[in-house]
Amino acid sequence: MVYRRFSVGISIRILAITGLIFLAVWLFYTKELWLAPGILVVIVAFLAGEMIYYVNSINQKLARFLDSIRFADFSSSFTTDSKMGQSFREVNQAFNEVMEVFKQTRAEKEEQMLFLQVIIQHINTGIISFNAEGKIGVINNAAKHLLQIPQFRDISDLGKLSKKLLQEILEMKPGQRVSFKVNPTMHLIIQSTALKMGGKSWTLLSFQNINAELQSNELEAWQNLTKVLRHEIMNSITPISSLVDSLRTILDEDSYVQQEGILIKKDGFLDIQEGLDTIANRSKGLVNFVNAYRDYTNIPQPKKELVSVENLIENVCQLMKEDLKSKEIEVHKDLNPENLEILCDPDQITMILINLVKNASESLQNQADRQIWIRAIGQGDLGSLIQIEDNGPGIVPEALERIFVPFYTTKKTGSGIGLAISRQIMNLHRGSLTVVSEPEKKTVFSLNFR
């Protein structure tokens, strides 16, 4: 509407100027008049000047409006002389309305920013952001209290707390999560996120000290381990103690002292022999238990190297080939991408895969259709995934929660230590070992490498 009125105003002025010019020329050449054409020329000049002022006024207001937007100065207001007409009043009103909308929008953004700043400063998780040059952008009170670094202005100042921690953070990839023990009272979980602001790249770090939680979990783990050890040792010591008492009774009742020595009845001798065999077997079981515990608590640090997942899986399948063939189990392999590589200790990961494939094959012994799928999936910044799936009877929910507990097993034979060791190896790789199972359908073990 405003544009239409502006166009009509300009058109009328142009037509009036053009008509007056033609009239002045006609009067001058046909009537040979001088005064009238002169007056008309003055009027044309006035109209031309007024039109120029009319146009420039709109342009100046538009330029001021755009400058206000460019410099985020929304304090300006637009007024007009009543002589300029209704169209100018509408233009000024439109400009003022737009400026008011910008004001409200900026006020809302400032409120939101203030709200976010208050939240960031009051959460218990430490937050730090820094740009590509290392300059600190945001640091909240939790981070200052946790790290205790005076005048923390550059990410390199983190080296005052721990140079290894600084190096670890600078090498982190977006989305990566690491655990780092700074000192006996500080064990940090650090997560990294990449973002862009103002055309610059920023890294956002979150810090949490999980030392108290670890101590609580460690105490609970020791309590659970003590229960397991007590249970296993008592299961061995109690029958041994009972047998020793029984053997002492047999010796007292079935032995006779003679000049040549001591005579024992045949039945008593056989009972003693059987009792000693039982003690020997139970003692051997106790020794095996202690050895299994030693293996669980003495896993070496992984020697990582870049390994082809395809070669890793082929090696496992080759080692298990005869066993799988004898059990009539079909193995399917699926790699995406085919050239997927992971950073790991190949010997330790091979041991995990063999253990999982072996467990899967044993679960299929009573199945008519015996299938195992080995999948490898690249997930970009989220890492890589290796899955072992079988179509066996699955694992019941009650057992699913305990299969990674040391010495717990659902099989008649086995130490119950394989899955516990496998999970610990994955923890040492800063990855994880998880399981999902649907009874009577499938079981899937997943090795997550980050």
Q: What pLDDT, on a 0 to 100 scale, did the predictor assign at position 235? A: 64
Q: What pLDDT, on a 0 to 100 scale, did the predictor assign at position 247? A: 74
For residues 336 and 363, is the Cβ–Cβ distance under 8 A? Answer: no
| pLDDT tens sequence for the chain (450 residues) | 444 555 666 777 788 778 888 877 777 777 677 777 778 788 878 878 777 776 676 666 667 666 666 666 656 665 655 444 555 566 667 667 777 777 777 777 777 777 777 777 778 888 888 988 889 888 888 888 888 887 788 888 888 888 888 888 888 888 888 888 888 788 888 899 888 877 788 998 998 888 777 777 666 766 666 666 676 667 667 667 777 777 777 777 766 666 667 777 777 777 777 777 777 776 776 676 666 666 656 677 888 899 999 999 988 888 888 788 888 889 999 998 889 999 998 888 988 898 899 888 888 888 888 899 999 999 887 889 999 999 988 888 877 777 877 666 666 555 566 788 888 889 888 889 999 998 888 899 999 998
For residues 435 and 392, is the Cβ–Cβ distance under 8 A? Answer: no
Q: Which CATH architecture has domain 305-449?
A: 2-Layer Sandwich (3.30)
255-258 and 330-336 beta bridge pairing: unpaired
What CATH number matches the domain at 214-297, 2.40.50, 1.10.287, 2.60.120, 1.10.3470? Answer: 1.10.287
The candidate with the shortest Cα–Cα distance to 367, out of 442, 418, 316, 438, is 442
For residues 226 and 234, is the Cβ–Cβ distance under 8 A? Answer: no
Cα–Cα distance between 294 and 113 in angstroms, integer? 55
**170 vs 50, 200, 297, 313, CA distance in Å?**
67, 17, 32, 33
**Every domain of the chain and the residues it spans:** 2-113, 123-209, 214-297, 305-449
Amino acid at 143: A
371-378 and 255-258 beta bridge pairing: unpaired
CATH superfamily of 123-209: PAS domain (3.30.450.20)
